[in-house]
A and B are shown apart, each in its own frame.
Chain A
């Protein structure tokens, strides 16, 4: 019984963190699916989302607003607005001018953008970590008080449900809406979409905006979950989300969701049963294993060379 509760606890922790990874991973996978580049500045977009949320929350508190739903919603909207305009601007400034060149050039441009944004936040907000108020507190507990108790915090539930809503909305958007349809067409054959009169630049911008918005949501959620943020906040999370995207098959949206969950669960299981220090070893080891046996990732399709 106790073992089961312990396992359940790890599973819950894993699913929570995994669903947040998945939210960030969407940004990597969608951009890759459409223009075939890895947007290494995506982790920074997420970090900026977290900072914007924190600044908004602090500002609202200074104004004396204490109603929690309002604070959360305003923080969410501000984070999404700032991050998505940042995502749009990064594409416009750093990627569009070098699009269609050799693959390495946009990649270097992305790394440059990532370093720039990180250092900008260092300058603007200081390099020390800042506490993020735990706005959502409390939770449920299972099990008898004198042995191991499984706990689910309301924060974890919030993360899971928000992710679920975002993923559902994204799936509907991609499969049903006109813009989503155009996104799919552009990702399959950009040249042909162009010829059929689709404004491909606009679709590419839309992709960056969607990815950045989801990253901003993750920024707010994980900022609250971890309780503190710093300018390097986006680095590790970005790397993990990128791993999740590759694990699930980069370019595939369901793959990014699955990859995020697998990564999150395997990390928390390692921390729970082995040692927290091994969690990165295991998750990247898992990545290597999957890529060895399925080079396109779990749900990725083999890329057919375009003629």
Chain B
């Protein structure tokens, strides 16, 4: 589904990402881990089109996407979250989910002014889908609150729901557990695995929380100082000497 080959990103004299390759197959949770400043988010930004990579190829659903603008890539079915929460804070919870479906319910202005049956029907469908996802992430009772007033963990879940209403095939989560307490992290675990199982989305994950990564990932890619260090199943990575060195330092 996603094929990254020899991805490089250079900022002036700094080679932030050097020859990174990774794959995400259908129905798979793949994680990128590595120490702080290893270039994980840069990899993310290249894939999602925030940066135009200086080298390498990125194929998504068979199409080369490197250097394409972010909104075009997102329309292919790849959505992402950011390290910090980026909700529309002054809109209500349900509006956040409705606005994410804007493209799917594109109708012209006049049908909106006249409230044609078609318009109503689509709006109702969007509302149903929003309600479904709010229920799924446990925020249904808070539907009419302003998103900015939610607790942090709730905002994180709302973000995931907002990604899911766009019906993606691949979800990219940048440190979704950052700032969550252990109980919330466990809930998030279940949620992510559930998304994969029930909705057939693939997940590409950046995470610091080792327990989360080890538990839910099908495969893990380790990056250190912009270079690929190891990749494989959680078990393989756990026993890899290079990984242990990078994380614990050399003895």
A binds B: yes
CA distance A198 to B162 in the complex (A): 13
Q: How far is the CB of B57 from chain A (nearest CB, A)?
A: 22
On whether the beta carbons of A188 and B166 are closer than 8 Å, the reply is no
**Inter-chain residue pair count (beta carbon < 8 A):** 69
The total of chain A residues at the interface (CB under 8 A) is: 21
Q: A195-B79, A196-B74 are in contact. List 15 more A-B contacts (CB 8 A).
A: A178-B98, A178-B102, A178-B105, A179-B109, A181-B95, A181-B102, A185-B88, A185-B91, A188-B91, A189-B88, A196-B79, A197-B71, A197-B103, A197-B104, A206-B109
A189 to B105, CA, bound (A): 20
Asked if A188 contacts B109 (CB within 8 A), the reply is no
- CA A179 to CA B100, docked complex, whole Å: 12
Residues of A within 8 A of B88 (CB): 184-185, 188-189, 192-193
Closest to B113 in A: A177
Contact with B along A245-260 (1 / 0, CB 8 A): 0000000000000000
Considering the complex, which residues of chain B in the window 68-116 have a beta carbon less than 8 Å from any beta carbon of chain A? 70-71, 74-75, 79-80, 84, 86, 88-91, 95, 98-100, 102-105, 107, 109, 112-113
The size class of the interface chain B forms with chain A is 20 to 34
B99 pairs with A307, CB closer than 8 A: no
Judged by a CB distance under 8 angstroms, whether A129 is at the interface is no
Nearest CB of chain A from residue B152's CB, rounded to whole Å: 16
**Contact across chains for A307 and B84 when beta carbons are under 8 A apart:** yes
Contact B75 A197 (CB under 8 A): yes
A196 to B104, CA, bound (A): 11
| Docked-complex contact A197 and B123, CB < 8 angstroms | no
Contact A178 B123 (CB under 8 A): yes
Contact B90 A188 (CB under 8 A): yes
Q: Which chain A residues border B79 with CB–CB below 8 Å? A: 195-196
Residues of chain B with a CB closer than 8 A to A178's CB? 98, 102, 105, 107, 112, 123
Q: Would you give the shortest CB distance from B81 to chain A, in whole angstroms?
A: 10
Tell me, in angstroms, the Cα distance from A193 to B80 when the chains sit together. Answer: 12
Smallest beta-carbon distance B118→chain A, Å: 13
Task: Give the docked Cα–Cα distance between A23 and B80 (Å).
Answer: 39
